[in-house]
Chains A and B, each alone.
Chain A
Amino acid sequence: MRLPSFLQRTATFDHGIHPVYHKETGCLPIRRFPYAPKLFVPLSQHIGKPAIAAVKVGQEVLRGEIIATADGFLSLPIHAPATGVVEAISPIASDSGKMEMAITIRVYEADSQEIKVRNPHELEGLKGKDLALIMQEVGVAGKGGAVFPTHAKLVPPSGAVIDTLLVNGAECEPFLTCDHRIMLERAHDVLTGIKYARRVCGAPRAIIGIEDNKPDAIAALQAALPDDGTVSIKVLETKYPQGAAETMTYAILGREVPVGKRSSAIGVIMNNVMTLAYMGRLLPLGEGMTERVVTIAGPAVARPGNYIVPLGTPLRFLLEWVGARSNASEVILGGPMMGAAVSSLDVPITKGVCGVLAFGKTEVEPQRSYPCIHCGECLSACPKKLNPTQMGLLAAKREFEVMADRFSLGECFECGCCSYVCPSHIPLVQQFRIAKSFLKDKARSA
């Protein structure tokens, strides 16, 4: 239920949940991670076409050098995350569970790992798609969840007028604090990124949305805001999923993204703070994306924190280095609400990985599940105002079409609020995912 605005302390959306946040790593400064002996760099670290390998086995590569080129506009080049030698170009395990092509680099141990290859451009006066094409060379993709190439996301579809660039600094997933640290430590980069992003999308103003559990980050950004008043900060209630595009757009602007449309239809383009911070840092220097900040945490991690991790670092190396406890039995990429458990520790860190969480045996003990008691908790938690109660009952009967036709299954963005609150421990989101992929397969084969 939405409170009248005068009772509302901070901007927010309807429904949602208040999980335990476990944001202890938020007070730890970002530290640099060492180089693993071998890095595994997948050619597809973004949504869109995979990059095309531009190196040969046995070839020496310098850190920052392009090792794979973009295949069209909706694609990204890949830069060597370390100086070393290409050992293989072969399929490896990926976080999706499928095998994917990757370039394996054996890192030169004694190398200083300076960035030696830069390609800066004259940015003055450039805007719109011209600037986007230069952005593409940096190779930045969305750092939040969906790994959409940033330059492509910033270009509005023809005809759309963008009035606001929303910058997502909510970081509503428990455990994750990398965006928090970035806003705190690299406020300047964030604002530089916003400057260039606005030039591409043409938005006259930008609003940064931050949950009110990060007062230090809010203060740091506030101090760095430009004087012309075109960039402002909106403090948001700490509530999950405040950082989802739909909920945040509603919380800040009161606009709902119409069903089946993109947010550009209502004049909004959203980017994540870390994405823009890297864009702001790398674009003026003409450097490529070779690393990212990752939160490594969870009950089974001895030394949790925020680390600058070279892209391609395998999880096994990562967890050994932060001291995974012996009871660790589940490793998740991303946050605990939406992140996926990995099946192999050979999976490398890629551009879209914001967190690595390790849980011990006891924390993942399966709970006894009960029949749906029709309590309606899931319905009261769903930020999309769907009816998970009915959809859950239908899913159990495998009536997937009814779920889609009558209960807007397609609108579910799998935030997990319904499963989180369900006292019967019914895996609702999981059922919805199965239903969706079933319908997708059916549509494809039809």
Chain B
Amino acid sequence: MTQPIELRAAPHQHSGRDVPTIMRNVVYSMLPICVFSIWQYGLSSAALIFVVTLSCLAAERINNHFSGSVNTLSDWSAAITGIILALTLPPAFPLWMGAVAGFSAIWLGKSIFGGLGQNPFNPALIGRAFVQAAFPTAISTWAPAFAPHRFSEFIPSSLAAPFMSPPDIVLWAKQQGVDAFTGATPLARWKFENISASSMDLLTGNVTASAGETSAILILLCGLYLAFRKFLDWRIPVAVLGSVVLVAWVFHFAQPARYPTPTFVLLSGGLMLGAWFMATDMATSPVTPRGIWLYGALIGILTVVIRYFGGLTEGVMYAILIANAAAPLLDQFSQPRVFGNERDKS
């Protein structure tokens, strides 16, 4: 050895966990949910997940091309956005609308803010909010699970041509021999008919819902895997779900006839998916310990309030978006106490 040539700054060791590793593991953890969704809804769901994810990747790539930045597909974050987005859409959502959702998620939700880590809102939710506004009917048209021919035929609405009104799913369900299908989610049935679905059905996914929101237990397991491997911050889902249960319990306790049980509120709709996979998005959640707890609690409370008093049946999406907007503020007001400092400094 003649002279040292490398002059790098300390520390000279690294944990070895980098951005692609984290993102890749999030993708892996969502695969079981995708598989379950495909098993339930067949071809339509498979095609939806594929198309939405691909359009997110394409949007990211096109953006790389025009902004002249390095290739950012390799950080896997666009893939996460795509998969989460697909899982929040109705399983028979027309594929072309899925592509619109994918592109709007990446471009409106992420690229315009400067890309990875700079987006104030969860891009998947931006995509979903965009199509909710653009296609209000399609986004609330649900499909029956376990249709007999689901692996050989698409649910007709999937293949709807752009700007044509999609065919009627309830009719198709009848032809398929799925009689009990009414086209309403458990939350909608509770809201408009005051019928609560059984906890068992909600846990195992035997309900009408978005592609990836059916089985609470599966989502819980996948989320726990990530939390266990420390790829997501366990405090966020705990805070979200805990505050939901608490608030729902208070309402239920006050007026049992009017408000559902906390279990129903906890297991229905997009809450599980939102709490484990969307609220935990790193870029859009706070980093300080107190900020994290407040953020989670805010999502939980808003979810229940929107579900009970809003015009919509589902509140998780808007709850998370509002909390995303509040995240920088929460961070600012909950600066940790610096070691050795007697008083809180905020």
Contact between A370 and B1, CB atoms less than 8 A apart:
no
Q: Say whether, besides A373-B282, A390-B331, A420 and B118 are in contact (CB < 8 Å).
A: no
Closest to A18 in B: B15
A10 within 8 A of B: no
* B294–chain A nearest beta-carbon distance, Å: 14
A177 within 8 A of B: no
B-side contacts of A345, CB under 8 Å: 1-4
Contact between A430 and B9, CB atoms less than 8 A apart:
yes
Most buried by B among A300, A331, A368, A374: A374
A192 within 8 A of B: no
Stretch in A31-39, A156-164, A270-278, A375-383 touching the partner: A375-383
Contact between A420 and B14, CB atoms less than 8 A apart:
yes
Closest to B342 in A: A258
A343 within 8 A of B: yes
B17's partner among A359, A419, A421 (CB-CB below 8 A) is A421
Q: How does the 8 Å CB contact mask read for A340-354 relative to B, with 1 for contact and 0 for none?
A: 111111000000000
Q: Say whether, besides A337-B10, A373-B116, A416-B11, A246 and B3 are in contact (CB < 8 Å).
A: no
- What is the total of A-B residue contacts with beta carbons within 8 Å? 169
B188 within 8 A of A: no
A-side contacts of B331, CB under 8 Å: 390
Contact between B338 and A20, CB atoms less than 8 A apart:
no
B282's partner among A364, A374, A416 (CB-CB below 8 A) is A374
A-side contacts of B10, CB under 8 Å: 332, 336-341, 414, 416, 419, 429-430
Report the interface size class on chain A: 35 or more
Contact between B116 and A376, CB atoms less than 8 A apart:
no
A341's partner among B7, B14, B282, B286 (CB-CB below 8 A) is B7
CA distance A343 to B196 in the complex (A): 71
Contact between A342 and B14, CB atoms less than 8 A apart:
no
Closest to B7 in A: A341
CA distance A390 to B287 in the complex (A): 9
CA distance A344 to B118 in the complex (A): 41
Contact between B345 and A408, CB atoms less than 8 A apart:
yes
Contact between A411 and B18, CB atoms less than 8 A apart:
no
B12's partner among A258, A330, A368 (CB-CB below 8 A) is A330
A47 within 8 A of B: no
Residue ranges of A at the interface with B (Cβ–Cβ < 8 Å): 17, 19-20, 174, 246, 250, 256-259, 261, 300, 319-320, 324-326, 328-332, 336-345, 357-359, 361, 364, 366-368, 370-376, 379, 383-387, 389-390, 406-408, 411, 414, 416, 419-421, 423-425, 427, 429-430, 433
Q: What are the nearest 5 A-B pairs in CB distance? A: A376-B287, A416-B11, A330-B6, A336-B12, A430-B9
